[in-house]
Structure 1
Amino acid sequence: MATRYRFGVEEFERLFQGVKHLELLRGEIYEMSPIGPRHVFTVARLDKKFQALLGEEAVVTVQSPLRIPPRSEPEPDLLVLKPPLEAYAERLPEPQDVLLLIEVADTSLEHDRAKLALYAEAGLPEVWIVNLQENLLEVYREPQGSHYRLRELVPPGEAKAPLAFPERPVPWS
């Protein structure tokens, strides 16, 4: 009989330190698919926009791990975190640090949508999925249990302001 083994975040970090493109989700390890040019471009463009818009008011990280104890450590495309940057010198960000999480999804759309339950359970206040397949921004707010109560679809050409910065709309497309 085969036994499934589930990893905790500490064990995952110890055993797979330095191994790229892996995510720990609910104790299981997922190899992330390679990213294409549209994905890379979209992430870089959003990073540049958020850095310019928020300056020192937030910490923006690109494809960095988010520690969700006890058994998850996803690597979203962008994290907008509470400052200061020095708070993360000796530890990975955790849910209470997150102002906004952004996934850019092309071939990974279903996988990224499946992670919404994990993000809601962790209490992340807002998640954006940049849906490259349909050219839409999916905005998720108000976590409740394993889902988000609010879902908004933002078409290209429209800007969206994050909850944490309501006076600063971001042109996402």
Structure 2
Amino acid sequence: MAQRYRFGIEEFERLFQGVTGVELLDGEVYQMSPIGPKHALVVARLVKRLTEALGNQALVWPQNPVRLPPGSEPQPDIALLKPKDYWEALPSAEDILLLVEVSESSLDCDRNVKLPLYARSGIPEVWILDLSENRLHVFRHPKEGLYTEHRILLPGEEAEPLHFPGVRIPWLTLSAW
């Protein structure tokens, strides 16, 4: 009988060091979707807007890994982190204020694999930007592995990060990005 093998974070980092385009999710290695021009531009503009809006209140961490023990090292498109030095170790759940996933071809994985993982890890807020439907999904308040709040923002509405009341990030139509 065939048996699946689950990786731990340290083993994943050792075996896949230097390998691009993979992430560890619940002990399994996933090949990430290629980043297209629309996805790349939206991430770049969101990074710029978040950096301008938050200044030194948070570290904007684009397309870099975060550690979610015991068996996950995802690479969200953007993470807002508590402002501190991450020289010695990758950020973990207690460092994360907000995660953003930009979904062009990865919506199924972002919603059904990553989102539950983030909720189980206690990430307080996750935004999933669905490029195909032009919707921003805001998930907040994880409890027992689920997010208890889900809002859908339409173009023209503003997103306000949970940890930064009063900071408003306009959500525009894709053509306006």
Q: In which range does the TM-score fall when normalised by the shorter chain? A: over 0.9
1:39 and 1:104 in contact (8 A); partners too: yes
Given candidates 82, 98, 111, the residue that maps to 2:96 is 98
Identity %: 55
2:8 aligned partner: 8
SS at structure 2 position matched to 1:46: helix
Q: Distance in 1 between matches of 2:100 and 2:43?
A: 9
Other structure's SS at 2:105 match: coil
* CA distance in structure 1 between the partners assigned to 2:101 and 2:111 by the alignment: 9
Kept after mapping to 2: 8 A contact 1:46/1:172 = no
Q: How many residues align?
A: 171
* TM-fit CA distance, 1:3: 2.3
Q: Which residue pairs with 1:109 in the alignment?
A: 107
| Residue 158 of structure 2 is aligned to residue 159 of structure 1 | yes
Q: Structure 1 segments of 4 or more deviating over 6 A?
A: none
Root mean square deviation, CA, Å: 0.8
Please state how far the C-alpha of 1:172 moved relative to its aligned partner: 3.0
Distance 1:108 1:46 in 2: 18
- What displacement does 1:101 show? 0.3
- Paired residue secondary structure (1:80): strand
Aligned positions of 1:28-107 closer than 5 A: 28-84=28-84, 86=85, 88-107=86-105
Distance 1:17 1:158 in 2: 41
Give the unaligned 5+ runs of structure 1.
none
Counterparts of 1:115-126 in structure 2, within 5 Å, are: 115-126=114-125
Q: CA separation in 2, counterparts of 1:33 and 1:140?
A: 22
Partner of 2:175: none
Shift of 1:151: 0.3
Deviation at 1:103, TM superposition (A): 0.1
Equivalent in the alignment of 1:143: 142
Give the deviation of 1:16 after TM superposition: 0.8
